[in-house]
Structure 1
Amino acid sequence: VTWCPSHANRFFTVGTDLRLYETQSSNGRTEDASRDVLPGADLLSINADFQYLRCLSCCQSPDLDVLLAVGQDSGKVVLASFGRTYNGTDLVGREFLPKQMRRCNTVAWNPAEFNILGAGLDKHKGDNSILIWDVQQTSSISVTKPKEEYGYSESAQSFSWFFHQPRSFVCGMNNKHIKIFDLREGARRNSTTTKACYGVCVDPFVEHRIASYQGNQIVLWDIRNFDKPVTTQTESGQIVKIAWCPTRSNLIGLFTKDSNVVKLYNIQQSPALADDVEPTMVERFIQPFNNVMLSSFCWHPTNENRMLVITPDNQAKDYMVFDRIALNWSPANIVWTHAKKLIHYWDCTDDGYSLLDDYAVKMRQRALLGYGLKEEELWKNAETLPDNKHLKVLWSWLDVLKLLDDSSKLRLVNKNDYAVGVRAILQDLTHPRQPDSGLRQAPNSYSFMTYSSKERDKALWLCGWKTRHENLPANIFSERLARHSSYSRKAAVHLFNMRIKEAIVVLKEAANANPDSNVSMVAMALSGYTAETRDAWRSMSRALQLSLGDPYLEALFTFLTSEDDGYWELLNDRNLAIEDRIAFACVHLPDAKLVQYIERLTTSTLEEGNLDGILLTGMTEEGGELLQKYVDLTGDIQTASLALLHAHSSPLSGNSQAQLWVDRYRNLLDRWRLWHERAQFDCAWARHHSGSSSVPGQQVVVSCNFCGLAASPYLHMQGALQGRGPRSTGASGQAGSHLNVSTPSVQKSKVTCCPSCRKPLPRCALCLTNLGTPAGSYWRKYEHMDQVNDEKLSDSSTWFTWCQTCRHGGHASHISGWFKEHTECPVTGCSCKCWFLGSPPGDL
C-alpha cells in the first residue's frame, strides 16, 4: 500500500492488480464506497495489466497526476498509470529493459530530479545490476541504454536516493555490502560490509543516517563513520519492512512477519554527547486492528503522524499515530507539547489558571491573600478558605491556643497542655479514680446525667465550650461562638450544656431573622419538653426531625430522644463539627466510654489524614504524623508550615521533618517570586522561634586588596570591645568605650584607608570619592537590641558595587546612571564591557 504523493487523500494498493482509492470525509461517503478496503474510501480505478509485478515506485513530481514505475520478474521497468484520465503524459507505457533479463528487485524515483529513475536487479555475469534511467532522454517506447550503470557482475537488493544530495544513492548489494554511489564523475565511493543490506532507506531529516535490516535485526548507520553501525536492535520476528517517517524527525517504523502491530522507534541523541555514542531508542507499539495480522504500512508524505496499514485480506485503515504528550510543570506554570508544536503554556496570567485543581495553585492564591500571617486573630486566616471546613477547624484550634497562651496567667490550662491535644489531657481518665479525684456526676431536672472533672474542663477549654471565666473580659468564648456559628449550632451547644431556655431564645432569634424557616416549630417543640412527657414527646417529634435538613437541629432531637447514654448516633455524625462532638462526649459520657470514643476518633483521623484530628493529637509527635499524612495526600506544605509557625510552644517545631516542610515552603515562595510574602513569613518565624536558635554572626565582609583583612572600622572596633583586638578610646577618653556610629553624621569620621594596613581604599570611578565611609547606623552594644529595628540604614543607592571582571566600580546610583547610556567601563583605559557581562538577555 502506498500514498499518492500528488493527492493527499489518494492511495493505491498492490496485489494481483493495482487499485487506486480516494478517502472521503464523513459527509462525502458514497453508498458504493469500497467498504471492504477502507470505510469511506472510493475505488477510482483498477490497473490489471501486470501479471509479474515485483516492485513499484510512485513519482513525486507535483506536475504529474499518478506516474508509477513498475519493476517485473523479467527485469523490465514499465511506466504506468490508471486509465485514460491519468494518461496526461506521453511517459505512460514506456519500457526500460536491461541487456540480460532477470528479476528487478527494487525501483526508486529521484526525489529532486523527477526524470531520473533507478533500478536494482539480480546478478548476471555480463551485465550491471544498478541501472539509472533518464525517462525523458528519448521518446521511444522501449529503452535499452541506461544513463548510468554500476555493479558489474553484482546483485542489488535495495536502493534509496539521498534527499539533500539527489545525485547520490545507496544500495544494498551482494547480500553482504552497503555501497554509496555518486552520479558525478570522479566522486569517491563509500561502502561497508554487512549482511543487513535489505530495505536500505535514507533518513529524510538527517542526511548522514541510513537504516537497513536483515532477518530480525534493524541496523542504523552513520555514513561519516561507515565502518560500524551506530546501533543494532533485535526484534522478535522476521522484519518485513522499515520506513522513516517523512514528517517527523528521528522516527522510524517497522513491522515483522505475522505481526499485528507496527513498531516505532524514536531515536534520541543528546546534542551534548559525541556522535559515536549509541543513541537511546524509545520503543512504541501501535495496533490498528485487533488481533489481525498486517501485510504492509506506509507513512503519509505530508500529513504529520498519518499512516496507512493493510492486511493480507485487503483490509486497510487510515490511522493517526497520536504523539506522546511531553508535559512539564513547576509550582508556577504548566507547559505541554504535541509533536513539534507548542500547544499551550499556562501561568498565573491565564484566565483558566485558577481552574486547575492543583494545590500549588491554591497555595499561591492563599499566599497572595496573606494566608496564615494574620497573627492578631488567627481565625481570620480561615476566611481565605471558604470551602475547606477541615482547615477552619485547624485555625479555630490555633486561635484557641493563642487565647489560652495570652491568658496563661489565669492558669486555665497548663502551659504544657497548649500543644498536646485532648487525647493526652484525658489520659488520666484511664487510671482508677480516688474517691476525692473530682469527678462529678450531676443529674438535672431533665433526667440527663452530666460529668465534670479537671481534665474534662481542660478539654472543654480547647474545644471552645468553656464560656465563662471571671477574669476573661466580655465573655470572649461566647463571642467566638456567635462569630463562627449559625443559630442552629449555638442553640445545640446551649442544649447540650442543659441550658434549654437559652437554646429556645436563640431559636426564636433565628425565626425572627428568617420567618420562612421551620426553626419556630423547633422552638415550640423544645418548649413542650419535660422529663415527664419525654416518651410522648419523642414519638411526636420524630416526623419533625426528619424534615429539618439541618444537622444541628436534627442533633437536638437525637439528643433529647436518646436512651440513657446511648449517644453514638450523635457522636458519629460527621456533619457536626469535631470539636462539638468531642465536647459533647466530655460532658455526657462516663470515663470508660469517653476514653474509648476519643481513641477510636483519633485512630480514624490519623488513618484518613484528616486535620480535624489535630484537636485530639495536638502538635505532638503524633500530630506530626497526622500533618505528614495530610501533606502526603494533598501536598499542602503551606498549611503544615504555618501551623508550626503559630504553634511555637510545641516540641514539634524543632522536629527535622517539620523543618523540612518549612524549608520547602520557603523555596516554594521563592520560585513563585513572592519575595514580600517570603520575607513576612521569615520575620514571623523569627519572632515566634527566636529562642530556638541563635542569630548567626556576620559572615560576609569587604576585605582590603592589600592585607586581606576587613576594611570596615566598625568590625575592628567591635572586635576590640570584645577583647579580640586592640583597645580603643572613645570621646570620653575611657579605654574600651563603645563605638557610637548612631550619632549625627557630623560625628562620623570619613574613612579613606584600610584600618589595618593604612593603604588607600578604592575610589568611585565617577565621583572619585573613597569607598569606605561608614553607612547607616548601628545599635550600641550594651543598649536594648530591639531598638535596632527603628534605626534607618543608608539608602542602597549610596552603597558601592563593582564589576566582577575588571574590579572597577563605585556608588550604586552613579554606576547605574553611567550604564544607562554606556556599555563600557567608566575607568579611562579599561575596555571591559561590564554591562554585557552582568545584564540579563532581556536588557541587552
Structure 2
Amino acid sequence: MATPGPLAGGSAAPATGPAIASVHWVPGLPDHVVLCSADLQLFRWRSDPGPLDAPPVHYGSRHHRIAEREVLLIEKQIPEPPNYIKCVSIHPRAGDAPSGDIRLAVGQANGRISLLSFLETSVVENGEAEMRHHVVKEFGSKLVRACNAVHWHPTDERKFAAGYEKQRHGHAILIFDTDREPTPPGSASLNTSQSSSTLPGLASSFSDRFRKTSAVDDLPEDYVRPVVELGPSEHCHSFTWAPNLNNGSLIAGMNNKQIRVFDLRTNTSPLITYTRAVYGVCVDPFLASRVASVHENSVMIWDTRNFEKPIVTLNQSSRVLHMEWSPTRAGLLCSAEEANPYLTLHDIQSWAFMIEDGEPAVTERQIQGWSEADSPDERYTSFAWHPTDESQILAVVGGEKLSKIHVTERISPSWSANHCLIWPFGGKLRSFSQKSSLFANLQDISVDMQMRALKNYGKCPSLADNQEFVADSPSLIAAWQWLHHCGRLMEDLSFKNKLSKDTTFPGVRTVLGMERSPSAMLRADINYLSWSGCASSNNLKQRKVYKSEPREHAQRICGWSMDPNDLGSFVKLCEEKKQFSRAVAVAVFCLELGMASRILEKCISDEGGSILSIVKISLAGFNEDKNGSWRETVRSSFEQLEDCYLRAMFAFLSTDNDNYSAIINDQALEIGDRIAFSCLYLSDEKLISTLSGLWMATLDGSDLKGLLLCGMTRDTLDLLQRYLDSTGDIQSVSWLSVRGLPPYVGLEDQVQNWFQCYRDLLNAWEMWSCRANFDIAIQKAHMQAKPPQQVFVSCNFCGKSVAQHLKGMPTKDEAKFASLNRQATSKRHIRAQACPACRKPLQKCAVCLLTMGTHSGKLVTGQPLREDAPIMSEFGEFFSWCQNCRHGGHVSHLAEWFEKYVECPVTGCVCKCSALDPASFQIPMENGLNGMASRLALTAASPLPPSSPKQ
C-alpha cells in the first residue's frame, strides 16, 4: 500500500508538486480511496445516475469523475499534512476500526514517520486539551535522512517498517512498534531480548547481528526506539513484506546493487542477489517466492528459490514510474511507463514459470481508461488495483486527473478432442458442448473429420466412392476423381510401361519429364489437321497442333485427347453429369464440329434452352473469313455469355495467329481442360512455361486439383502440406498419402508425421476400430516405418552400442562394412577391436585373451531378411558370460574350458561357473557343442544382459 514516488529515481515528492501524487484503496473498505497530494483526502466511490456535464476535473474540487457514471465524493481530509511526503502506507486494518478511524503512516524527507488519522485527535497536556491536527504519533530515525518507503506489517497491525537513505551510523531498515512508548531520557538501554521479542518469530539474537545501539542520552525526548534495525550504514531504495514467505520476511533493494531477503526468524545471513534493479520491489500475493523489481525501463522478475539471476527480464519502451501486482489475480503485474499513454499488463503464466530451467511465458497488453479523462498528451503517473474487484484499476492521469480502467479478463480456452469448448470467466467455467449451434456456424473441420471417420472415409475399395463423403469440398472431389481416373489408366499396360516402376499415379509433369528437368525438351511434331463433321469443313483452314507421345499421355491424364475412343468416353461422361457445354467445347477443341452439333441437338431435345439453340445456329454458320460478318458478330457478343465453356469455344473459333491466352488463363475452366488444350496447341517452350505457372498457382492456392500436374510423387508433399496448413484436414491428407503415394515416398518423415498426427486424433476420439483400419492400410501400402533398434550390447566405457556403425545399413554398398579396417574385412571373420564411438578396447575373452569383437546375427541390408541370408559369425564365436561373476568369453572357448574345469578361467576368481546350473548337463549336444555350451548359448542369445560382462 506504499507509494515511494518514481521507482527509478527515488526523489522526494514535495507538497507543491502535482495535485495527485498517488492513490490508495482503503483495506476493508472497497469503496473508499485515499488521494495523496498537497492534502491527504478520503473519497467514497459511488455511481452517479445524474447528467454527464459535470464540472471540470481539477485539484480542489469536491468530487472526481472517473467514468461516465461513476464519481469519487470527498468525505474527509487532512488539510495540513506533513511537508515533503515521500511515501504513504494505509493501515491494513483500517476498514475494521469501529469508529471509522482510518490511519496511515506517512514517511517524510527529513526521516520522520507520522501516524495520521482522518479523525481529529486531542491530547491533554498541563490540564488543557490540545488538537494535534490528525497526528496520532510520530516516529523517526536518530539522524536526518529521507524515508524512501514505509509498509505496515501484513499480520501484526501494531508494527510497520521504514526504509531510509544511507547515513553513517544509521541503519537502512527500521521496524517500529506503535504501542511502544518513547524512551525516557537517562534510562538504561533496552536489552536485546526484550526488543526482539516484540516481533513474532524474531530470534533473540537477531538484533545482535543487525542493530547497533547508541547511548540513550543522544536521543530526542519523543524518540521511539525501533524493535529491529537492519543494514547498518546502508541504503534502502525500496522494500516489501513477504507475508507468505517465512512468516513475514522482508525483501529489500539496497545499495543500488543488491536485493536481500531478510528472514526475521533466524540469525542467518540474508539471501542476496546482485542487480541494479533495486527499485519498486514487490511480491506476488499468490506466490511469495515471485518478486518483481525495476531499474529504468527494465522490469525483472525473480524467484527467491533460485536467486542467482532473474527468471525473466521485461524491457519497456521508457522508464517505469510505478509497478504493482494484482491482489486478486495470480501472476498479473501492471506497470506505468513515463512516456506511454497507457498501462502495461504483464501476465506471467504460472504453468511455464514453474518449469525447471524453463523460460516463463509472459504476455503483455496495453490498457487505457475512460476516454474523457485521458488525453493522448497525458501520461499515467500512478495507479492502484481494486482490492476485491479483479477488473478495476484507479489511475492518476497527468498528475491531476483520475481515471477508472477496466481490465478485461484474459481468456484461456481449452478445446477438447470431443469438440467441447470451455473457458474461465468471472470465476466460473463456461462451455459449449458438441450439441451447441456454435459448431454448425463454425464449420469445424474436426467435427467433419470425425463424422467421415465413422463412415469409413478413405477406406472405400473404389477411390471414386470417397468423394461422396466430401461433397462440400470441390478440391477433394477433384482429387479423388482424378486418383480413380489415373488408377484406371495405369491398368493399361501400354500406358504403364512407358513410366518408371516406382510410379503409382503419374501427373502431367511426370509424363512430360518436367520433374527431372523443368525445361524438358519435348520435341513435339507439328501437324496441320482439318475440321471434321461439317459440310463446309473443306473450306475451313487447317489448325496447327503439336503431337508427341508424352503429350498424348498428358492429355489422357487430363481426361480427354483427340483419340476417338478417349474423346467419346469423355463426352459420354459429361452428358451423364449434364455438362453439355463442356462436352461441346472439348469437341470443338478436337476439331469435331459434327460431334459438337450432335451434342447440342441432344441437349436441346432433352433439356431445352434458347441459348443452346442460338449456339447451334452460330456453330452451323462458322467460317474463317476475317472480313465476314460471322467473326464480327461472334467477337462482339461471345464475351457476354455466362457459360465459361461457350465463351472458350467461340474464343477458339474466332482466334487469330494461334493466340489462345484467353482460353488458357480462364480460371473458370477446369484445370484439366486447360492443360489438355495447352498440350494440343502450344509449342514446347510455351507449354513448359504455362504448366510451370499453373503449378505455382495451385501451390499458392493450396488447391488439390494440382495433383493432376504433379501426380503422386515427392513433389506432392509440398502441395499436401500447404493444403493441410490452410484447411487442417489431416484426415484427407493422410488417406490420400496412403492410397496414392509410392512406398518410398510414404516412408519419409513428413508423411510419417501426418500418419502419427491422424493416429493421435483417432486415439483422442477413442475410435479404435478406425485406428486399426488405418494402420492396416498403412501396412498394406508398405509405408510402415521400421522402428529403431532398442536393444544392443553397449561399451563399458561410453555406454554406446558396440555395433553402432552397423545399424541402419540400407544399401549393399554400406553393407560392406566400410567402417572396419581393410585387414579385418579381408579375413574370413569380421572382428572389431575397439568401440566405434570412444575407441576403447572391447571386452576380452577370459580364455584366449582376445577382444570379443565378432559381430553376431545376420547381415543387415536394405533388402528383406531371408532365411538363407549370410551369417556374420559362427555361433561358437558369440560371446557369453557367467551371470554370477560376469566373466566371459567366446562360446567355443568356454565350452572347451568347462569340459575339464569347474571354476572360472579368470585368475583369482573362485566362482564355480559350471556348477551354478545343474540342469544344463541334461541339455543334449547341438552344433558340435556339449550341454554346457548349450547353456552358455542361452546366455549368449540374450539380447541384453542384466549387467555388462567384466573384461
User: What is residue 56 of structure 1 aligned with on the other side?
Assistant: 88
User: What is residue 400 of structure 1 aligned with on the other side?
Assistant: 485
Residues 1:32 and 2:54 are matched in the alignment: yes
Deviations 1:337-370 (A, max 9, x none): 6699676667866543465576555544443443
RMSD (Å) for aligned C-alpha atoms: 5.8
Per the TM alignment, residue 463 of structure 1 is displaced from its structure 2 partner at its CA by 1.9
Instruction: Trace 1:142-221 onto structure 2 (pairs within 5 A).
Output: 150-151=227-228, 170=250, 192=270, 203-206=284-287
- Secondary structure, aligned partner of 1:396: helix
The 1-side partners of 2:511 and 2:358 are apart by 66
The 2-side partners of 1:14 and 1:248 are apart by 26
AA at the equivalent of 2:529 = Q
The 2-side partners of 1:350 and 1:254 are apart by 40
Per the TM alignment, residue 49 of structure 1 is displaced from its structure 2 partner at its CA by 1.3
2:652 alignment partner, one of 547, 552, 559? 559
The 2-side partners of 1:667 and 1:129 are apart by 61
Residues 1:420 and 2:506 are matched in the alignment: yes
The 1-side partners of 2:34 and 2:552 are apart by 89
Residues 1:132 and 2:173 are matched in the alignment: no
AA at the equivalent of 2:90 = C
Per the TM alignment, residue 569 of structure 1 is displaced from its structure 2 partner at its CA by 0.2
Instruction: Trace 1:521-540 onto structure 2 (pairs within 5 A).
Output: 521-531=614-624, 535-540=628-633
- Say if 1:540 and 1:179 are closer, same or farther in 2 by CA, change over 3 A: closer
AA at the equivalent of 1:246 = P
The 2-side partners of 1:99 and 1:592 are apart by 94
The answer as to whether partners of 2:154 and 2:248 remain within 8 angstroms in 1 is no
User: What is residue 385 of structure 1 aligned with on the other side?
Assistant: 470
Per the TM alignment, residue 320 of structure 1 is displaced from its structure 2 partner at its CA by 3.9
The 2-side partners of 1:688 and 1:410 are apart by 24
Percentage identity across paired residues of the two chains: 26
User: What is residue 465 of structure 1 aligned with on the other side?
Assistant: 560
AA at the equivalent of 2:178 = W
User: What is residue 733 of structure 1 aligned with on the other side?
Assistant: none
User: What is residue 773 of structure 2 aligned with on the other side?
Assistant: 680
Per the TM alignment, residue 490 of structure 1 is displaced from its structure 2 partner at its CA by 2.6
The 1-side partners of 2:658 and 2:736 are apart by 36
Per the TM alignment, residue 246 of structure 1 is displaced from its structure 2 partner at its CA by 1.1
Deviations 1:684-724 (A, max 9, x none): 4444559x99999xx9xxxxxxxxxxxxxxxxxxxx9x9x9
- Secondary structure, aligned partner of 1:298: strand
The answer as to whether partners of 1:180 and 1:189 remain within 8 angstroms in 2 is no
Deviations 1:281-336 (A, max 9, x none): 95857575767554322222112253333245313332344566556668766867
User: What is residue 117 of structure 2 aligned with on the other side?
Assistant: 79
- Secondary structure, aligned partner of 1:492: helix
User: What is residue 315 of structure 1 aligned with on the other side?
Assistant: 401
- Say if 1:28 and 1:379 are closer, same or farther in 2 by CA, change over 3 A: farther
Instruction: Trace 1:720-735 onto structure 2 (pairs within 5 A).
Output: none
The two structures have a TM-score, normalised by structure 1, of 0.63
- Say if 1:604 and 1:657 are closer, same or farther in 2 by CA, change over 3 A: same
Unaligned runs of 5+ in 2: 1-22, 59-63, 121-130, 181-220, 369-373, 515-519, 792-866, 872-919, 924-951
- Secondary structure, aligned partner of 1:613: helix
User: What is residue 11 of structure 2 aligned with on the other side?
Assistant: none
AA at the equivalent of 2:470 = L
Instruction: Trace 1:229-244 onto structure 2 (pairs within 5 A).
Output: 242-244=323-325
Per the TM alignment, residue 392 of structure 1 is displaced from its structure 2 partner at its CA by 2.8
The answer as to whether partners of 2:160 and 2:177 remain within 8 angstroms in 1 is yes
- Secondary structure, aligned partner of 1:295: strand
- Say if 1:18 and 1:482 are closer, same or farther in 2 by CA, change over 3 A: farther
The answer as to whether partners of 2:107 and 2:150 remain within 8 angstroms in 1 is no
Residues 1:493 and 2:586 are matched in the alignment: yes
1:442 alignment partner, one of 500, 524, 530? 530
- Say if 1:167 and 1:28 are closer, same or farther in 2 by CA, change over 3 A: farther
The answer as to whether partners of 1:220 and 1:229 remain within 8 angstroms in 2 is no
The answer as to whether partners of 1:390 and 1:612 remain within 8 angstroms in 2 is yes
- Say if 1:675 and 1:553 are closer, same or farther in 2 by CA, change over 3 A: farther
User: What is residue 304 of structure 1 aligned with on the other side?
Assistant: 390
User: What is residue 73 of structure 2 aligned with on the other side?
Assistant: 44
User: What is residue 667 of structure 2 aligned with on the other side?
Assistant: 574
Residues 1:545 and 2:608 are matched in the alignment: no
The answer as to whether partners of 1:374 and 1:381 remain within 8 angstroms in 2 is yes
Per the TM alignment, residue 440 of structure 1 is displaced from its structure 2 partner at its CA by 6.1
- Secondary structure, aligned partner of 2:227: strand
AA at the equivalent of 2:643 = D
Per the TM alignment, residue 562 of structure 1 is displaced from its structure 2 partner at its CA by 1.9
AA at the equivalent of 2:556 = W
Residues 1:14 and 2:36 are matched in the alignment: yes
AA at the equivalent of 2:327 = P
The answer as to whether partners of 2:743 and 2:781 remain within 8 angstroms in 1 is no
- Secondary structure, aligned partner of 1:310: strand
Instruction: Trace 1:676-825 onto structure 2 (pairs within 5 A).
Output: 676-687=769-780, 689=782
- Say if 1:641 and 1:91 are closer, same or farther in 2 by CA, change over 3 A: farther
- Secondary structure, aligned partner of 1:307: strand
Per the TM alignment, residue 79 of structure 1 is displaced from its structure 2 partner at its CA by 0.6
Per the TM alignment, residue 19 of structure 1 is displaced from its structure 2 partner at its CA by 4.2
Compare relative contact order (CA 8 Å, sep 6+) and give the higher one, 1 or 2.
Answer: 2
The answer as to whether partners of 2:541 and 2:624 remain within 8 angstroms in 1 is no
The answer as to whether partners of 1:219 and 1:229 remain within 8 angstroms in 2 is no
The answer as to whether partners of 1:467 and 1:475 remain within 8 angstroms in 2 is no
Per the TM alignment, residue 197 of structure 1 is displaced from its structure 2 partner at its CA by 8.7
User: What is residue 573 of structure 2 aligned with on the other side?
Assistant: 480
Per the TM alignment, residue 568 of structure 1 is displaced from its structure 2 partner at its CA by 1.4
- Say if 1:564 and 1:396 are closer, same or farther in 2 by CA, change over 3 A: farther
The answer as to whether partners of 2:624 and 2:631 remain within 8 angstroms in 1 is no
- Say if 1:499 and 1:209 are closer, same or farther in 2 by CA, change over 3 A: closer
The 2-side partners of 1:512 and 1:118 are apart by 101
Q: Which moved more, 1:613-622 or 1:652-661?
A: 652-661
Deviations 1:464-522 (A, max 9, x none): 2259877x9x9754443334453322332233334445444544665567667744443
- Say if 1:342 and 1:614 are closer, same or farther in 2 by CA, change over 3 A: farther
AA at the equivalent of 2:71 = D
The answer as to whether partners of 1:263 and 1:283 remain within 8 angstroms in 2 is no
- Say if 1:398 and 1:352 are closer, same or farther in 2 by CA, change over 3 A: same
Per the TM alignment, residue 526 of structure 1 is displaced from its structure 2 partner at its CA by 3.3
Per the TM alignment, residue 617 of structure 1 is displaced from its structure 2 partner at its CA by 2.9
The answer as to whether partners of 1:443 and 1:449 remain within 8 angstroms in 2 is yes
User: What is residue 438 of structure 2 aligned with on the other side?
Assistant: 352
The answer as to whether partners of 1:247 and 1:305 remain within 8 angstroms in 2 is no
The 2-side partners of 1:223 and 1:498 are apart by 85
Paired residues in the alignment total: 677
Residues 1:3 and 2:25 are matched in the alignment: yes
AA at the equivalent of 1:56 = V
Deviations 1:172-206 (A, max 9, x none): 69989979798xxxx76777387999766565334
AA at the equivalent of 1:244 = W
- Say if 1:163 and 1:549 are closer, same or farther in 2 by CA, change over 3 A: same
User: What is residue 897 of structure 2 aligned with on the other side?
Assistant: none
Deviations 1:791-829 (A, max 9, x none): xxxxxxxxxxxxxxxxxxxxxxxxxxxxxxxxxxxxxxx
Deviations 1:18-51 (A, max 9, x none): 3455666696663215546645353412735124
- Secondary structure, aligned partner of 1:494: helix
- Say if 1:681 and 1:405 are closer, same or farther in 2 by CA, change over 3 A: farther
AA at the equivalent of 1:58 = I
The 2-side partners of 1:556 and 1:380 are apart by 32
- Say if 1:657 and 1:260 are closer, same or farther in 2 by CA, change over 3 A: closer
- Secondary structure, aligned partner of 2:707: helix
Q: Which moved more, 1:629-638 or 1:552-561?
A: 629-638
Deviations 1:99-144 (A, max 9, x none): 9998877665666677x46474979999996443369xxxxxxxx9
The 2-side partners of 1:649 and 1:576 are apart by 30
User: What is residue 930 of structure 2 aligned with on the other side?
Assistant: none
- Secondary structure, aligned partner of 1:683: helix
